[in-house]
Amino acid sequence: MDWCNLAHAARTRGDEQSLVEIGRELNALIRKYDETDGDGHANPAWARPNQRALTLSARGKIKEAVDVERVAARYADTDRRKEVSYGNIADRLVRLGRAEEAIGWFLKAWDAAPTSVPVMMTGARAFFDAGHINDANDVFAALGNMQELLTPGTDLYSYLRFDDSLLDMAPHLWALDALYRKLASTMHDAEGE
């Protein structure tokens, strides 16, 4: 994961030389992971392509990551593995501008993990980008009914505080705007005590 974070950082900086060097390290790690059949993972048929897709995504090879994650998804044998693979595919399809296609994968991930905030965030973005504003709003409305999700340390709290990609949706989605207002009120109350 550290090497993937380095790859993301190098891409963000536009540092192609570092990305090449990091890519070599990631390739070596994936080769080792394959040679050890997933380093003893309980389901190497899922884990090996899942980890390969993770490294491809980190290197900015999103289309290839989607293709490889689809292989992993065929072997996802638990709800958690389905959530991860289906959610990853949906997220990467959104990033590729294929929001309508991402919705189908989001719905599969949501079936596997109906309370997963990261899955719901991906779904809301897919709906929004595909022009299904009411559906995107409904996702945030459902989250708004769960006050406990707005406490520090929760996934929703972190998304609202630190993920600026939500801000462009807020003016169009009353439920997301309401979540931001609840968060601001919660933070104000906590600071006032």
Q: Are 83 and 96 in contact (CB under 8 A)?
A: no
In a domain, 191, yes or no: yes
- Is the C-alpha dihedral spanning 160, 166, 171, 176 positive or negative? negative
Q: Are residues 182 and 115 in the same domain?
A: yes
Q: Are residues 189 and 115 in the same domain?
A: yes
- 130 phi, psi to nearest 5 deg: -85, -5
- The pLDDT value recorded for residue 72 is 97
- The pLDDT value recorded for residue 192 is 47
pLDDT, tens digit, for every residue of 43-81?
989 999 999 999 999 889 999 999 999 999 999 999 999
Q: Are 41 and 66 in contact (CB under 8 A)?
A: no
Q: Are residues 68 and 137 in the same domain?
A: no
Q: Are residues 108 and 184 in the same domain?
A: yes
In a domain, 181, yes or no: yes
Q: What's at 91, amino acid-wise?
A: D
Q: Are residues 115 and 38 in the same domain?
A: no
Q: Are residues 58 and 122 in the same domain?
A: no
Can you tell me the distance from the alpha carbon of 173 to that of 69, in angstroms, rounded to the nearest whole number?
31
In a domain, 119, yes or no: yes
Q: Are residues 49 and 108 in the same domain?
A: no
- The boundaries of the domain holding residue 31 are 1-77
Looking at the 3D structure of the chain, how many domains does it have?
A: 2
pLDDT, tens digit, for every residue of 81-91?
999 999 999 99
In a domain, 165, yes or no: yes
157: domain CATH number is 1.25.40
Instruction: Confirm whether pTM is higher than 0.85.
Output: yes
Q: Are 29 and 37 in contact (CB under 8 A)?
A: no
Q: Are residues 71 and 103 in the same domain?
A: no
Can you tell me the distance from the alpha carbon of 156 to that of 37, in angstroms, rounded to the nearest whole number?
35
Can you tell me the distance from the alpha carbon of 89 to that of 68, in angstroms, rounded to the nearest whole number?
9
All residue ranges of the chain with pLDDT < 70 are 1, 187-193
